[in-house]
């Protein structure tokens, strides 16, 4: 019926005023936390940096198979089975055994209850494939195993990338998965991506190892360059300590030498290992290796049992800060390669905002003029409801502190058109009802009731499309679908509560007048 109770009128008025107040917080500052939220501007409006990172999983696969090599040797040694010619080449682990042990080897790798791999609670046979070719066993990751490994690496890398970016204090970063080996990083407001690229491009794999002159080291040795490329040193492959043992790292100024250093604190296990290594290695050089390059190699003068130390290497305060950040956030599971980057300047972003606002203003003005000219008083009611509808939409986006993009503005513009479309359907239906019904109240009530199906069908269909775009799309498409979806709900509310309330109030005053519309 064409009737609004006092309670409904109160709630419609309260909700409208509340959202007008919330949306106005984008332009004015309030002390209350609820009314002090703002819509964030996306990369295309605010300007900033866009980076698409690809995870290089090859080192991870090699490392996993290398670990498995040691495990296989130890496992079959306990079983008194001799493994011959074990090699790791092209991400395949190959070896041979005597004929009488071949079936035992196959059973070990295909039995889900096998305790072969101590790195997992239970060895999963679907992760690795074993094949015998010309009396040689070849072990490699299965397709499912590669997918699981890549997913795990991506999850770890995503978390560490997020930690590194959060440490810098970038405003509202957008960090998302892309496929199973890529990560998208959007940094609104950042127009100089060089520091971010430097931080994300480093794996930050820190190790402490002794410098050795003995090429016959029982653990093996390798020649590494210093970070500045000035010289090389032979370093033992035996890892005394790794970055996993770090509790904290901070840039500091060494008062004695007046140089910038990175001070670090170790956990209990790390402190014990470090103390033991420095007590037995007095007089030796301890190389601090980051991503395969020697940062510094100080000579151990005394036992360090405190669980803390310093890394020196001719740092500036900025480079020391970045190194400390990398060490605190942890090492990436695999190297990241930047395969695409874009920088949007703030001027270009402001141009997009201006263009979007102009388009919205022109479209809004033309709609208002057309509706007012077409329906007079009811056109004015529609225009007031349309303005409140925009406040409702902006208010909801403000509450959730959503990120507004240029496609999001397009969604708002489309919402304006859909809101007008609903009112046009209602008023045209009322005109049809007035031809056969002389009672204005009944005609208006019938117009609202009979047009409801068409309006709901149109809006529900659009909402389904918006939901599909939101879940299947990415980036700008999500922004468009989000504002469009919210706009559908605010449109229906403004049409059936705000515009209808004002229409009822006017029709009850002019219920005897002919030619109302």
Q: Which residues pair with 178 in a beta bridge?
A: 182
Contact 40, 401 (CB under 8 A): yes
Contact 339, 51 (CB under 8 A): no
Contact 188, 48 (CB under 8 A): yes
pLDDT on residue 515? 67
Residue 217, both tokens: 């080291």
Burial 90-112 (b: 16+ CB within 10 A, else e): eeebbbbbeeebeeebeebbeee
Handedness of CA 472, 475, 476, 480 (dihedral sign): positive
Whole-angstrom distance, CA of residue 178 vs CA of residue 240: 37
pLDDT on residue 413? 83
Contact 196, 331 (CB under 8 A): no
Cα 147-151-152 angle, rounded to 5 deg: 120
For the CA atoms of 206, 207, 212, 214, the dihedral, rounded to the nearest 10 degrees, stands at -110
Whole-angstrom distance, CA of residue 395 vs CA of residue 16: 10
Whole-angstrom distance, CA of residue 203 vs CA of residue 327: 10
Fold for domain 6-47+345-509?
A: Multidrug efflux transporter AcrB transmembrane fold (1.20.1640)
Is this structure's pTM higher than 0.75? no
User: CA-CA distances (angstroms) from residue 207 to 297, 330, 400?
Assistant: 12, 12, 43
Same fold, 6-47+345-509 and 208-314: no
Domain boundaries of the chain, sorted by first residue: 6-47+345-509, 58-145, 208-314
Q: Running along the chain, 517 residues long, what does each successive block of 10 average in pLDDT?
A: 80 92 84 75 78 90 80 80 83 84 74 50 57 82 86 90 83 81 85 78 87 70 84 87 87 84 89 89 89 87 84 84 87 88 70 76 84 89 92 91 83 86 90 85 89 92 93 80 93 93 88 71
β-strand pairing of 136-141 with 182-188 = unpaired
pLDDT on residue 402? 83
β-strand pairing of 136-141 with 232-236 = unpaired
**Cβ contacts of 278 within 8 Å, gap of 6 or more:** 286, 300, 302, 303, 304, 305
Q: Is 38 helix (H, G, I), strand (E, B) or coil?
A: coil
Contact 310, 155 (CB under 8 A): no
- For 208-314, CATH gives 3.30.1360.200
Radius of gyration of the chain (CA): 34
Q: Is 267 helix (H, G, I), strand (E, B) or coil?
A: coil
Whole-angstrom distance, CA of residue 349 vs CA of residue 214: 60
pLDDT on residue 475? 67
SS (H, E, C) 72-118: HHHHHHHCCCCCEEEEEECCEEEEECCHHHHHHHHHHHHCCCCCCCC
User: CA-CA distances (angstroms) from residue 194 to 157, 217, 404, 484?
Assistant: 20, 40, 26, 36
Helix (H) or strand (E) holding 112: none
pLDDT on residue 490? 95
Whole-angstrom distance, CA of residue 167 vs CA of residue 183: 18
Q: Which residues pair with 246 in a beta bridge?
A: 266
**Cβ contacts of 318 within 8 Å, gap of 6 or more:** none
Contact 398, 38 (CB under 8 A): yes
Residue 245, both tokens: 């043992």
pLDDT on residue 125? 46
Q: Is 191 helix (H, G, I), strand (E, B) or coil?
A: coil
Q: Which residues pair with 93 in a beta bridge?
A: 88, 139
Residue 243 has a CB neighbour count (10 Å cut-off) of: 21
Contact 499, 382 (CB under 8 A): yes
Helix (H) or strand (E) holding 492: helix 476-493
């Amino acid at each position: 019926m064409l009737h609004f109770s006092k309670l409904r009128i109160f709630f419609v008025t309260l909700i409208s005023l509340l959202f007008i107040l919330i949306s106005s917080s984008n332009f004015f500052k309030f002390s209350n936390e609820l009314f002090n939220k703002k819509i964030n501007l996306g990369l295309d409006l605010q300007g900033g940096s866009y980076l698409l990172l690809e995870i290089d999983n090859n080192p991870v696969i090699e490392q996993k198979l290398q670990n498995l090599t040691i495990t296989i040797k130890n496992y079959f040694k306990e079983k008194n089975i001799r493994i011959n010619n074990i090699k790791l080449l092209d991400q395949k682990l190959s070896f041979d055994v005597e004929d009488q042990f071949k079936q035992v080897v196959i059973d070990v790798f295909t039995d889900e209850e096998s305790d072969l791999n101590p790195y997992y609670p239970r060895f999963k046979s679907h992760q690795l494939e074993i094949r015998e070719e010309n009396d040689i066993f070849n072990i490699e990751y299965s397709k499912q195993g590669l997918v699981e490994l890549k997913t795990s690496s991506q999850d770890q890398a995503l978390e560490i990338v997020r930690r590194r970016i959060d440490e810098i204090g970038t405003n509202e970063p957008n960090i998302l998965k892309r496929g199973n080996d890529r990560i998208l990083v959007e940094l609104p407001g950042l127009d100089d991506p060089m520091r971010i690229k430097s931080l994300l491009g480093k794996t930050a794999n820190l190790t402490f190892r002794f410098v050795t002159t003995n090429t016959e080291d029982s653990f093996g040795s390798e020649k590494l360059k210093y970070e500045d490329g000035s010289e090389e040193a032979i370093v033992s492959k035996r890892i005394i300590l790794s970055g996993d043992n770090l509790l904290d790292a901070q840039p500091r100024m060494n008062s004695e030498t007046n140089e910038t250093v990175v001070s670090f604190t170790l956990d209990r296990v790390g402190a014990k290992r470090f103390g033991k290594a420095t007590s037995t290695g007095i007089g030796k050089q301890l190389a601090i290796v980051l991503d395969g390059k020697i940062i510094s190699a100080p000579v151990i003068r005394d036992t360090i049992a405190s669980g803390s130390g310093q890394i020196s290497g001719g740092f500036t305060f900025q480079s020391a800060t970045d190194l400390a950040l990398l060490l605190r956030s942890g090492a990436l599971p695999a190297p990241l390669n930047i395969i695409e980057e874009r920088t949007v300047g703030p001027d270009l972003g402001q141009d997009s905002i201006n263009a979007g606002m102009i388009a919205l203003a022109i479209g809004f003005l033309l709609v208002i003029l057309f509706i007012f000219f077409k329906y007079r008083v009811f056109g004015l009611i529609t225009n007031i409801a349309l303005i409140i509808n925009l406040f409702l939409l902006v208010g909801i986006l403000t509450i959730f502190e959503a990120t507004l993009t240029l496609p999001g503005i397009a969604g708002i513009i489309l919402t304006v058109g859909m809101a007008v479309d609903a009112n046009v359907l209602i008023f045209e239906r009322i005109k049809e009802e007035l031809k056969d019904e002389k009672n204005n109240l009944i005609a208006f009530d019938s117009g609202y009731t009979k047009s409801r199906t068409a309006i709901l069908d149109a809006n529900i269909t659009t909402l389904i499309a918006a939901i599909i775009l939101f879940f299947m799309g990415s980036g700008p498409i999500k922004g468009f679908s989000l504002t469009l979806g919210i706009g559908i709900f605010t449109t229906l509310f403004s049409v059936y509560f705000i515009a209808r309330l004002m229409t009822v109030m006017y029709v009850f005053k002019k219920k005897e007048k002919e030619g109302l519309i």
